Chain A
Amino acid sequence: MSLLTLENVTLKFGGLTAVNNLSMQVEEGQVFALVGPNGAGKSTVFNLISRFYTPVSGKISFAGTDLLGLAPDEVPSLGIARTFQNIELFDQATVLENLLVGRHRHRSTNLVQQMFHTPAVRSEERAHREAVEEVIDFLDLQPYRNSRIAGLPYGVRKVVEVGRALASKPRLLLLDEPASGLSVEETQNMRWWIDDIRRQMGITVLMVEHDMGLVSKVCDKVLALADGAMLAQGTPAEVQSHPAVIEAYLGTGDAA
């Protein structure tokens, strides 16, 4: 059974069909990429999985559980975590605090216990901070631990986004354009991190990405999307050379 399955998913915004009868499977342990021109519906697919949108038809299931019955805040408890294309960090908080929110789904104490700061709360806090420290080590965020997000450069924020998602120890990590806006070195780092995430942490990665170089180096499988429908699916090399994909990106060779 695939880890994540989309079956004939369709989503419309009024008259616009954003996702058109899309089916895809992501296997556990894969690094899977969704590519396609702008407006193809890639982030929309993410928003469907995160349950910010509900499809008009089709099914989405994760490890056998039907996602469509869930609210957006119930999705993380299944083991799905995501980043956002336009960085949605908590600006007024520090990096550490942002990462700690990533641990929210692992909380075990209730409101009253927290108000009185019982020993259970104290030990839970320690456990959270330890888990978060591992993420900080992994992503080399030590210098920024106590910095407020509002003052940090873009590249660091992108990394913190990933860190926050990692802090929840997911099974499936959704990365929405992890390399957009990054320099060559930063993209290189991101590539190693994605590799390590898969190899060391055993986390499945589904990413939306425009940088075909990164995709071809790190992904096992690619699905090309255009106008909400699948164009081609396969290894990066297969998809890149697929005629329909080339046409969608570059157009045909005919003069008018």
Chain B
Amino acid sequence: MRIHFKTSYDDDIRLFEDGWKLSLYAALLALMVALPWLIDDFYLGEATNVLIWATCGLGLMLLTGQTGQASLGHSAFMALGCYTTVLLMEAGVPFVLAFPLAGVLTGIVGGLIAIPALKLHGVYLAIATLALAILTDDLIVMLEPWTGGVGGKFAPPITIFGLEVNRWSSPAAWYYMALVVVLVVTLFYRNLLRAPMGRAFAAVRDSEISAQAMGVNLARTKTIAFGMSAGITGLGGALMGLFAEVFNNETFTFILSIQLLMMIVVGGLGFIHGAFLGAIVISFLPQALSIVTDGIGSNVAIPGLEIGVFGVIMILFILFEPMGLYGRWLKIRTFFQLFPFARKDMFRRQKSYLKTERLR
């Protein structure tokens, strides 16, 4: 069991508690940087996919895990980020500008959407965002002159400072690009968490009333949360569309929103690691399933198996491990750290009885 002897407030504020943690994450970073030399192009593509999902997951995590606003509509932001990036690039804006700009624009739209959404709580917000996602699907089709409608759009070639980033000819470059994006997003996310704004997010999640009593402006905080969440998810969506090289309204249906939410719950709601773990699960699920079905000997692809299995996984997690994969890891680690003093109910989640929406 490691004991932290802290001598200054900086020890609490720093990103990594101690040298051990720092070297652990440094090693992880080194591994990630070295990955293109360690695995073949196919798996590198898979890894890039994981990073893209993780980016989207971080966006949703900020809003739902951190600020407690349930959203089933993030596919709309993914679509917005993607189409905006591509339209900007087609207008001649270089990728290095178009990409962050699209993120900012999507963030602004997210912030605007927050304004009416402020009045909605819990399930009503989930429903409203779901309606938004469905609307976006139809809107994309209706706005055909810009979006290419059902025919979709092709991703223009990406060049960063003269270097071509192509999924097939330079997979390592694509991987590093995604890696940089996810690292920058994670850094911003962590910086927010150790600052007043991050705490304000958590306050809004846990108790709106006392958050207000402490001076947290609900409207402003939620708007910022929505905006940042939309922006980050927009960037992720842009990466997703560009990586797929062709996309249309069906790439960004509301099912994608649902999958994103399920993914971060599986990973662990409220934890940054959760976004990454969830991304790994969702990226490798198809592979894992086909391995299993091959093993059983069935050659026929069972349609919808993925969705069905995902559903079962979700239910099992909600019933048995609501804190997700990272939560389970925390429990295991705490058990060993405190051995033999760990108590069974240390992570018992406070039962939050639903406040009757009908009598607020």
Contact = CB atoms under 8 A, between A and B. Distances in A.
Interface of A: 50, 52, 71-77, 81-82, 84, 88-93, 96-97, 100-105, 107, 109, 111, 114-117, 121-122, 124-126, 128-130, 150-151, 164, 168
Contact of A105 (B191, B197, B203, B215): B215
A14 B159 CA distance: 65
Given A50-B213, A125-B9, A116 B191 contact: yes
A101 B209 contact: no
B287 interface: no
Given A125-B9, A130-B9, A104 B213 contact: no
6 contacts: A74-B215, A76-B213, A77-B215, A88-B213, A90-B210, A104-B200
Given A104-B216, A150-B349, A92 B200 contact: no
A76 B215 contact: yes
Given A93-B206, A115-B188, A151-B348, A129 B214 contact: no
B350 interface: yes
A91 B206 contact: yes
Contacts of A73: 211-213, 215-218
Contacts of B9: 125-126, 129-130
Contacts of A121: 191, 195
Interface in B238-270: 270
B195 A52 contact: no
Interface string B325-354: 000000000000000000000101110100
A97 B198 CA distance: 10
B213 to A, nearest CB: 5
B121 to A, nearest CB: 16
B202 A102 contact: no
A151 B346 CA distance: 7
Contacts of A71: 212, 217
Contacts of A52: 209, 212
Given A107-B196, A151-B348, A122 B13 contact: yes
A82 B209 CA distance: 11
Nearest to A118: B191
B193 to A, nearest CB: 10
A81 B213 CA distance: 7
A89 B207 contact: yes
Interface string B169-213: 000000000000000000010011011111110110111011111
